Amino acid sequence: MDRIPCVGEAAPDFKAAALHGGRQVEIMLSSFRGQWVVLIFIPGDFTCVCPTEIAAAAVKYPAFRELGAEVLAVSTDPVEAHRDFQEKELVRVVSGGALFPLVSDPTGAVGSLYGLYDAGRKTERRGHFLIDPDGVIQSLEVLAAPLGRSMAEILRQLRALREHRATGRMTPCGWEPGKPTLPPVDESGAPARPWEQWKPREAF
């Protein structure tokens, strides 16, 4: 298995074919520099859990765009399979289907860059990366095949990361907009004392 890049590292750049706007296009990750990127890997289009994730991402796509983020969904399916998936499945459950690029990675080259290509099954593993406007990975998650991810949690993390980037403040457990943030860690080594500004009820 290839190494999974860590938080704080530059997101590996790639160029790949994708279905976007009903036609085949070529995309390059670095072309999205200056905005957030939600890079999603799924095992396959016509599977059990993956369609629910892509449909949820499609429903929440306007929310991602409001936060200055682009969504890229990657699988080993060819572009024509993405087209069939879009036209025969997604548009039946989400108006307009997926408005974000469905990236084709038939050789697993992109998945390998991110340590998520399963060479034995020739599919991607289920996982995603949040990449900041500077092209640096700020969050990642890898899930077992039966476990679908939460778009609500990805959006929550994106909002929290944007808050920290804008203010330098830290976002405690379960942070949502409007809840208390915390000052940066004191480099002198003094105790942080979060309890002075945060209570456990704020996590829920």
Contact at 8 Å (CB) between 47 and 41? no
Catalytic residue, chosen from 6, 48, 50, 173, is 50
Contact at 8 Å (CB) between 27 and 156? no
List alpha helices for the chain, DSSP H.
50-66, 79-85, 91-93, 109-113, 151-167
Residue 177 DSSP class? T
Characterise 108 by phi-psi region: left (phi > 0), alpha (psi -120 to 50), beta (else): left
Residue in the block written with tokens 């990675």: 105
50 is catalytic: yes
Residue in the block written with tokens 């629910």: 52
Return the active site residues: 50
